[in-house]
Structure 1
């Protein structure tokens, strides 16, 4: 009888686990546009599901994990300035006991690059944290590869 109960419990938990979904409320897309023979602008777009938000690059210590872009070094291009973002929503969040800047629905970050040759591929990663009014998901890192033609 114990074997049947154990087997039944194992099957039940296996089936329940198969129906559990990993939440992925943010999807990233990328593009590049040449603005001259030697410069291009990279566009890094986060599309965010309703009721979720990601944080600005400009969050003070002690708050949520801010969005951070890391570009892989290359001899084919160099970064011009810092990654820019549009004006964020700023609101006091009880969870962090501070004002935080964040984005809802979608946000496009931009990075200007100087090209050392006509075409290249810019690689790197973005780290970000996503929250809603009930929970925050663990910070996530996503690698990207953006062709510049």
Structure 2
């Protein structure tokens, strides 16, 4: 009986180690990359745009941020910004068109853009905007765990 318990514990530990290893690999080898496009310098009163541009490998996709995806338990792609005093978000996040029959994004040019206004009461110098990015990468067989990143975007107000 003791020998049987040892085998069960050994197999269980082996499975846990394997699952952990696979999860660690997926976090570093996801088929999605992104860049952030933002101006380095802005002036008082000026409007500017920050864009998060995703590139998704063929046969993979991201879920669009629409109600049906959330209702069905999918993790929709989300980009939000935390801004310092003296900056103002203008309008809604501009989203790309989703795939026609599916509520997903795919391809090498998926862009989400937000417009900002530099208000007159902001201090000149370096300002930090925090971009919060959440997405889940899937194909027809598997979904990787969601990715949650916070990126500091430094702009200089002149």
Q: TM-score, normalised by structure 2?
A: 0.67
The residue number in structure 1 matching 2:61 is 53
Residue pair 1:54, 1:104 contacting (<8 A) in 2 also? no
Residue pair 2:49, 2:115 contacting (<8 A) in 1 also? yes
Structure 1: runs of 5 or more not aligned: 93-99
Count of matched residue pairs: 138
Q: What secondary structure does 2:143 align onto?
A: coil
Task: Quote how far apart the aligned CAs of 1:27 are.
Answer: 1.6
Quick check: 1:142 aligned with 2:152? no
The residue number in structure 2 matching 1:113 is 116
Quick check: 1:69 aligned with 2:73? no
Task: Quote how far apart the aligned CAs of 1:134 are.
Answer: 0.9
Q: TM-score, normalised by structure 1?
A: 0.71
Higher helix share: 2
Q: What secondary structure does 2:141 align onto?
A: coil
- Alpha carbons of 1:65 and 1:90: their partners in 2 closer, same or farther (altered >3 Å)? farther
Residue pair 2:35, 2:52 contacting (<8 A) in 1 also? yes
The residue number in structure 2 matching 1:32 is 38
Higher strand share: 1
